[in-house]
Structure 1
Amino acid sequence: MAKWGEGDSRWIVEEREDGHNLNDWHWVEKNIVPWCKTEVANRFKDLTIYDGPLGQFKFTGLKNLDGSICAHVRRGRRFVMYEYNMSFDWSGRLVQEDGSIEVKGTVKIPYMGDENDFDDFEFEVSVDGKGAKAKGIVHQECKKVLKKAVKEFMEYMNTKWTEGPIKSDSQSEIKRCTLKNEEQSSQSSSSVKAAASSQVTNSSSKSKSGVKNKDLTQKVTLNGPVQMIFSTFLDKDRLSAFTQSETHIDPKVGGAFKLFSGNVTGEFLEIVPEKKIVQKWRFSDWKPDVYSTVTLTFESSSQTIIKLSQNNIPADDLNRTKEGWNRFYWNNFRNIFGGNIGSFM
């Protein structure tokens, strides 16, 4: 293969000036929180909550939007992952028997996660000072107005960021390239797939006979809700995003899974929602009768604590297994949620 800057220019891979991600193959991640803040602020400014005989109340602006909202592109797939909270200011006039009074307060959505439907969320209403009756009216009317507005925003966000080009703002983004020759493009695609496969498997098959097995344990702490983190291990699309690889999952006891384009395979032995996952697990180059057992337990407090235990690992694959957990799982989870990756024991 010609080196960069050498050989026939028709076969040279070049970075595209337009930044186009050819066939959406490369991993691209875009922080869209700033865009979301602007969009939400525009949609909610002066949005009427209630206008009737009991008074008039409206949203006056976005108070805050905090969390993680990212648009992703990977291997021809586009998706948005999010976990955030937001709150709004509201104000108005409450009609009383002796006249009307000015009231104001806050509406807060404490959690929005991509495991929920767009209108599946809880909200809280508070009022500053007097006006308990106004709080009740706003809460009742927000069941319709707030959920409708948020759902429309989420649907628009999801459509906008899963169509058209997405340019990453990450410094570590893989350079996007194109080829000047269609035949070379086909060869390059095969090379990329082979490289992705080699990230998990060794170049040569090893004999496992007579090799003593090893165990490993590890504790990982993540700053995210246990519901979202647990469900990621059972969701094909989200696990593909986190591991940046092709994934097939049948999330039930007895269901099979294939990870990293089939280089890791196995079966679910036990699933306890938000508590525990047990898997029969193997690398594809192990002998057919060789399996290890993976147990993941989940604990929820202010953070999510994951305890990993993997038993019966062929000794000469212990380091490869450790590297895989850190490189393809925990580092990516930590990049999204934040947290701490403990050492293997």
Structure 2
Amino acid sequence: MAKWGEGDPRWIVEERPDATNVNNWHWTEKNAGPWSLDRIKELFKDLPLKSDLADITFTEVEKCDGEASASNRKGKLIFFYEWDLTIKWSGKLKDGSDKTYSGKVKVPNLSEENDVSELDIKISVKDSDDEGDKLKEIMFKTGKQVVREQISKYISSLKEEFSKGMILPKKDEVKPDAVKNLTSGFNKKINMTPVVSESKKQIGLKIDVTTLNLTQQFQCKANEFYDALTRIEMVTAFTRAHVKMDPTKGGKFELFSGNIVGTFEELVPGKKIVQQWRYKQWPEGHFSTVTFNITEKSDHTEVNLVQTGVPAGEADVTKENWQRYYWDSMKRAFGFGAFIV
């Protein structure tokens, strides 16, 4: 294996002015948050709702909390977004009084892990009387679909806007058709249940524990591996499931839709990560200690994982899950191991 910058074309900076990410091998990222905020507000600003029964308008976005980003690794585009929306609406019945009613639409779970058709959309009206309830019913039947359509427009325009310039052509390869734009496949949820043991939860009993000592080589730099375990968008990319994470000392994390939970005990960028870590199949309240020692070599990065306090009956399952859901998945997502197909 060649050293970085020596022989291996994935690491060579070729003679071109934009050759900082040749062959699109390295992880690059753009912040799509401010653009997304403006785009979502634009899509719902004074938007009329077509109805034979009422005149209803989405007036403005009252709340838009969250983040969005677009990333590129090995020529694949990965889009990450997570938003909590509150949209105002107002309207009146065509055959009712002249009173104008107002209300709100809440979308608390707009993210790449949820299909637009699965979004939880809540409708409310400020004045709940006969006319107000009729307007609310119209919003429930027709307004929800309009919200889904506008959100679909946001997702499409996000991918279109942030695909520009993310994937660079290889040397002497400038045809736009030569590169395919792919999303991360975040909606393909990982299900960890096929690899579980038959042991039951044991509360208040002494647990027989053991230690795992695993070593893996990754074709990346030490900081890249560290980022892959501490940056929420990168963790989301390789787990392909919802992630909650606060990468600070004492900060909590929740991976694989709650199958793995814990806290960060120590963080040394590019060198070391220590976590209190548990798998939900373990006896209730029992945590192990996981230490990642990260060492950058001349042509790869070596990671030594020491996990103490693993229930003895879960050792084989846990070892298999590290390989399957962490190492292999990271290598596929980020190109950290060329032998993974």
Of Structure 1 and Structure 2, the greater strand share is in 1
The TM-score range, normalised by the shorter chain, is 0.3 to 0.5
TM value normalised by structure 2: 0.47
